[in-house]
Amino acid sequence: MPKPPIIIIRKKSGHGGHHGGAWKVAYADFVTAMMALFIVLWLMNSSKQIQEAISGYFKDPSGTAKKVGSNVAGSGENFQLTKQNMAKLKEQLQKSIRSINDLDKLKKNIEMTVTAEGLRIELLESEGGTFFDSGSAVLNNSGQELLTLLAAELGKVPNHISIEGHTDAKPYTGKSSYSNWELSADRANAARRLMQQSGLRGDQVSQVRGFADQRLRNLKDPLDPANRRVSIIVQYISNNTDEAESPEEDAKETGEGKRSAAGAKAESETTGKKDEK
């Protein structure tokens, strides 16, 4: 009987059909979404200054708007004005003020000094009135022009601003219910209103103070017109508080601290002598 033929079955092994690169697109979308999530989480935990800087960049990449944008160099923390770089702001403001048409008439009435509290900008009055008419809390053209320029520059920094009004020792001769206290406070508020309309952020002004004639610039001549002034203070940014203490408060606290320490030392010595007895 003949042998049946041997049948060999060979299975051809082959690759499946071509899957394409769709999975790569899906994976790229997933990675992008995760990166966006991490950026949002980082922004939520970053400082307010960094948030404002990034927001300002996307609103105005050229950096020319009121919010800080690409004209801020370095990382978000580097544009905070400290005691080390406050002098640069002073130079920048002085350079901007030179563009004022009547600068020759005003330059003797504008003074900037870097103090323990921050950059102090003094707008000094003259006998005829430089920024305010005599006895008035309404800014004249020179006052409006200068404060508008300052507001545009100071609105670019994250620092808080405090505004002070001062008068000389001459009593106010208008209404009986109105005094140098009201006049100094009204002038400071007039400056605040105009500056907030011209570039300062709504939350940038931390204090508006009226001192009347209690902090004279020229103690030897209480009637000196230079005692009538509006002071704008660009405060240092502090880690503990947003508002810097004034030099007068620092000096007062230092004196009280020394007196307390001396009293404690004297009490300790007295107690020690009693114990020896």
Q: pLDDT confidence of 200, banded at 50, 70, 90?
A: very high
Give residue-wise pLDDT tens across range 47-101: 766 777 777 777 666 554 444 444 443 333 334 567 777 888 888 888 888 877 6
pLDDT of 39 reads 86
Residue 230 near residue 123 (C-beta atoms within 8 A): yes
Q: What is the mean pLDDT of residues 245-267?
A: 43
Least confident of 100-104, 146-150, 167-171: 100-104
Domain with CATH 3.30.1330.60 in the chain: 80-248
pLDDT of 266 reads 47
Report the mean per-residue pLDDT for the chain.
77
- What is the third-level CATH fold of 80-248? 60s Ribosomal Protein L30; Chain: A; (3.30.1330)
pLDDT of 241 reads 40
Q: Is the pTM of this model over 0.75?
A: no
The residue among 83 and 22 whose pLDDT is bigger is: 22
Residue 204 near residue 157 (C-beta atoms within 8 A): no
pLDDT of 63 reads 55
Give residue-wise pLDDT tens across range 223-244: 999 999 999 999 988 644 434 4
The residue among 182 and 71 whose pLDDT is bigger is: 182
pLDDT of 259 reads 41
Percentage, residues of the chain above pLDDT 90: 36
Q: pLDDT confidence of 18, banded at 50, 70, 90?
A: low
Least confident of 44-48, 108-112, 137-141, 198-202: 44-48
Residue 72 near residue 59 (C-beta atoms within 8 A): no
pLDDT of 135 reads 85
Q: pLDDT confidence of 255, banded at 50, 70, 90?
A: very low
* 128 contact partners, CB below 8 Å, separation of at least 6: 134
Which of 45, 194, 230 has the alpha carbon at shortest distance from 120? 230
Q: pLDDT confidence of 253, banded at 50, 70, 90?
A: very low
**CB atoms closer than 10 angstroms to residue 257:** 10
Which of 218, 224, 216, 211 has the alpha carbon at shortest distance from 182? 211
pLDDT of 196 reads 95
pLDDT of 19 reads 60
Q: Is the pLDDT of residue 160 over 60?
A: yes
